Amino acid sequence: MQNSGRFGKYGGQYVSETLMSALVELETAYATLRKDRRFVHDLAAFQKDYAGRATPLTFCPNASRELGCKIYLKREDLVHGGSHKLNNTLGQALLARHMGKKRLIAETGAGQHGVATAIVGAALGMPVEVYMGEVDTKRQALNVFRMELMGAKVIPVTSGTRTLKDAINEALRDWVTNVRDTYYLIGSVVGPHPYPLMVRDFQSVIGRETRRQVMKREGRLPDTVVACVGGGSNAMGIFYPFVKDNVELVGVEAGGEGIETGNHSATLCAGEAGVLHGTLSYLLQDGDGQVLPTHSISAGLDYPGVGPEHAMLKDSGRVNYTAANDPDVLSAFRFLSEKEGIIPALESAHAVAWVMKNAGRFDRDDIVVINLSGRGDKDVAEIAGLPGVGS
Amino acid sequence: MRRIDAAFAGRKRPAFIGFTVAGDPDRDTSIRAAMALIEAGTDILELGVPFSDPVADGPTIQKADERALAAGATVDMVFEIVREIRKRSEVPIVFLAYYNMVYHRGIDRFYREAREAGVDGILIADMPVEESDEVYKAALRHYIDPIFLITQTTSSERIQKIAARSRGYLYLVAVLGVTGVRDTVSAEALDLVKRVRKFTEVPLALGFGISKPAQATTCAGAGADGVIVGSAIVDIIEKNFKDPDKMDQDLRTFVASMKKAL
């Protein structure tokens, strides 16, 4: 029988029977629409006039001087809503509307995807319900307020570990129950086919712009492109247009308190093949196949799975996956704020942390692009509360 | 004859299929609950293999999985529970599992060990027929009946594909949604029995949301060959496991009332 949506051996559609018809419907609709001129035009118009694309590729003179290479930031923090998440929610919401769906549901970790879904719900006049782990509703209270302000209903999830993984479980349960009129707007390159492919397509605008911008400015491709990886959507978005080029690609996972402590979310660094949320990919699990609890200072990376295309890119060696630990991430958060006046999201600060730690391997003329996937305003209150931070 | 086939052969009334989570609330109490179900007349025993992320299940069975895992349930222990039940009964035993448990252990190894322990059928909740090549082959190799779900959203074309790979029985999902007790059985669920019947001779069992004798009677009237009850049984275990004698008695009373209604 068919094997849909594979990235090497990874991917697939491991879902309850009830959802199969919905996935087939989605696959068909997307296959038609992605080539539909009007859809492509509508999406481009929203990206430009509503989301604020193209986002700048910002050269960082001070950080470059400190680190001894040319540092550029792809400014997804400047996308409306404060992160790259809107690239995907705009595409999927337009698709949902085209499919005649009446209601959007979503999961969220840090709240950025929830906010981006609330935004498109308000803009397109569709009701939105967002599942969010109870732990995350507390550490990202600002985003809960923003979602509610834009008319979305936030549903705190109290099962399991009460974080992103459990929010996805609850969203899947909602979808199974309301499958006929509800569209599940997944926020990352995870889940069953066609989500990983579709979300990557919608996020690839990041890499396409980066390519054009760096060519214009430097006349050549970058040496290294760095992005943080939770589920992996901002990383897939910036990597994908460079996959066939001679450009080093680095994905930085959440090392948390250190991989050796077990308190981390570094799925590709420390996990093994497994099936969660409809896809075969890398997974943090115990010897019996039970999914392990994760830890990260950033709610957006706090997920035991990862997109299946990343799993393939890891096995092939095309992308170098590594991890940054919480203390280094906090240093990077401060560094970029102090040196460049740009407060990064804690998620994106993982990518900055890797460059800081590995600055010694770059020459003065090397071009390093960091995907600054989101802005850090949402994290300020949480960080101010950490011991030894407030002054 | 295979145990599941024998359970359906020559029946005049639908089979009663009872579900419990293996290891809930702990190994020994779980065996006692299973034996109470069997001794009260359960025709086929479904055993849930506890998983950390049971997305097809509602809160009742999620909590049972959590209790079992907190008490130290492992796949090894689940096989051990099957062996204990097999010492005392020849009732057909069917696993309800999530794919990662099977995949992680190794598909062939999981099916072989299940067979050796005395398992007769395996249903994987997150395994649509399109992805089932490997598990299907493993099931055939080890004489395990591959059991699949069919729901109200399954197209006729897919019903035929699923039926072609099914042995033992087909599990028809009576609701759109997750497991859990509901008050009635919908007309759509009853129609599903008729729709699927056109395509296959495999016995059809209705499950999800069924908890009351009146619902069982309705399913029997619609031509179902079996009725599957899960959450209602798990509810009884949850409420009474601290008093195992009462749990035992309440399970027997419940099964008797359902059997009488069929």
Query: What contacts B30, CB < 8 A, 6 or more positions away?
Result: B20, B21, B22, B23, B24, B68, B81
Nearest to A203 by CA among A227, A174, A173: A227
DSSP state of A230: S
- Per-residue pLDDT at A119: 98
Cβ–Cβ of A14/B69 closer than 8 Å? no
A160 reaches B (C-beta below 8 A): yes
Burial degree of B149 (CB within 10 A; 0-12, 13-18, 19+): buried
Given B46, B84, B145, B225, the catalytic residue: B46
Partner-chain residue, chosen from A14, A176, A290, that has the shortest CB–CB distance to B99? A14
Cβ–Cβ of B55/A277 closer than 8 Å? yes
A172 reaches B (C-beta below 8 A): yes
| B 78-117 → A contacts, CB under 8 A | 98-101, 103-105
- Per-residue pLDDT at A4: 65
- Per-residue pLDDT at A388: 62
Long-range contacts of B158-166 (CB under 8 A, 24+ apart): B158/A20, B158/A21, B158/B129, B159/B195, B159/B196, B159/B199, B159/B200, B160/B199, B161/A1, B161/B129, B161/B130, B162/A17, B162/B129, B163/B196, B163/B199, B163/B200, B163/B202, B165/B129, B165/B132, B165/B136, B166/B200, B166/B202
Burial A159-169 (b: 16+ CB within 10 A, else e): bbbbbbbbbbb
Given B5, B28, B53, B57, the catalytic residue: B57
What is the distance in angstroms between the Cα of A241 and the nearest Cα belonging to chain B? 30
Instruction: State the average pLDDT for chain A.
Output: 95
CB atoms within 10 A of CB A92: 26
Strand order in the sheet with A272-276: A6-7, A10-11, A279-283, A272-276
B196 reaches A (C-beta below 8 A): no
Q: How far is CA A365 from the centre of its chain?
A: 29
pLDDT tens profile B12-48: 999 999 999 999 999 999 999 999 999 999 999 999 9
Strand order in the sheet with A153-157: A153-157, A128-133, A103-108, A182-184
pTM: 0.96
Q: What is the pLDDT averaged over residues A5-10? A: 94
Position of tokens 């020459």?
A: A363
Burial degree of B198 (CB within 10 A; 0-12, 13-18, 19+): exposed
Go through the domains of chain B in sequence order and give each one's CATH number: 14-147+212-255 (3.20.20.70)
Partner-chain residue, chosen from B59, B148, B176, that has the shortest CB–CB distance to A18? B176
| B 48-67 → A contacts, CB under 8 A | 51-53, 55-56, 58-59, 62
Contacts of A16 in chain B (CB under 8 A): 55-56, 125-126, 149, 151
B150, B34 contact by CB (below 8 A)? no
pLDDT tens profile A210-246: 999 999 999 999 999 999 999 999 999 999 999 999 9
pLDDT tens profile A284-342: 999 999 999 999 998 889 999 999 999 999 999 999 999 999 999 999 999 999 999 99
Tokens at residue A73, please?
Answer: 């930031």
Q: Is A44 left (phi over 0), alpha (psi -120 to 50) or beta?
A: alpha
Reply yes or no on whether the pLDDT at A390 is more than 50: no
Least confident of A175-179, B147-151, B235-239: A175-179
Tokens at residue A286, please?
Answer: 């115990």
- Per-residue pLDDT at B256: 98
Q: What is the pLDDT averaged over residues A245-257? A: 98
Q: What is the pLDDT averaged over residues B115-140? A: 98
- Per-residue pLDDT at A267: 98
In chain B, the percentage of residues whose pLDDT exceeds 90 is 94
Reply yes or no on whether the pLDDT at B217 is more than 50: yes
Reply yes or no on whether the pLDDT at B59 is more than 60: yes
Instruction: State the average pLDDT for chain B.
Output: 96
- Per-residue pLDDT at A383: 87
| Three-class secondary structure of residue B13 per DSSP | coil
Query: What contacts A93, CB < 8 A, 6 or more positions away?
Result: A104, A117, A120, A121, A123, A124, A126, A183, A185
Cβ–Cβ of A289/B53 closer than 8 Å? no
Q: What is the pLDDT averaged over residues B203-211? A: 95
| Contacts across the A-B interface (CB distance below 8 Å) | 115
Q: Which residues of A are catalytic?
A: 60, 84
Rounded to a whole number, what is the largest CA-CA distance in chain B?
49
Contacts of A12 in chain B (CB under 8 A): 131
ipTM over 0.90: yes
In chain B, the percentage of residues whose pLDDT exceeds 70 is 100
Partner-chain residue, chosen from A173, A178, A280, that has the shortest CB–CB distance to B55? A173
- Per-residue pLDDT at A163: 87
A32 reaches B (C-beta below 8 A): no
B57 is catalytic: yes
Reply yes or no on whether the pLDDT at A110 is more than 90: no
pLDDT tens profile A53-97: 999 999 999 999 999 999 999 999 999 999 999 999 999 999 999
Strand order in the sheet with A224-228: A57-59, A70-75, A367-372, A224-228, A248-256, A319-325
